Amino acid sequence: MREYDPAKWIDTYKDRIKLAHLKDMTKDEEKFFAEVGTGCIDFQPILEKGNEADIQWWIIEQDATRRTPFESIEISLNNLRKMLDEQKM
């Protein structure tokens, strides 16, 4: 399996990317879908490059959940807002 660095990808195509979708995975061996900001993905460099590239839309994707879909989206959205606010500081 190849690994890609999303921050480098955004930097490479910064003039073409205006939206990006985000998803996260659990830190355990199962690698199940996690709410954004609760898993193993380091979003800070991704969001930093996204802000530099003037990404207009961050789309949260939750393929499957151990909670209700509404609980998952609330957690992900709150975490994304917090991370974006931290970028402004």
Tell whether 41 is covered by a domain.
yes
Q: Which two tokens stand for residue 1?
A: 């399996």
Q: How many structural domains comprise the chain? A: 1
Mean pLDDT throughout 9-35? Answer: 95
Tell whether 32 is covered by a domain.
yes
Tell whether 33 is covered by a domain.
yes
Tell whether 15 is covered by a domain.
yes
Structural domain that includes position 42? 6-88
Cβ neighbours of 45 (radius 10 Å): 14
> 22 pLDDT exceeds 90?
yes
User: In the prediction, which pLDDT does 56 show?
Assistant: 95
User: In the prediction, which pLDDT does 21 show?
Assistant: 95
Terminal-residue alpha carbon distance, the chain:
36
* Residues in the chain, overall count: 89
Tell whether 47 is covered by a domain.
yes
Query: Per residue in 35-83, pLDDT tens?
Result: 999 999 999 999 999 999 999 999 999 999 999 999 999 999 999 999 9
- Identity at 18, one-letter amino acid code: K
Sort 25 into a burial class: Cβ within 10 Å, 0-12 / 13-18 / 19+: middle
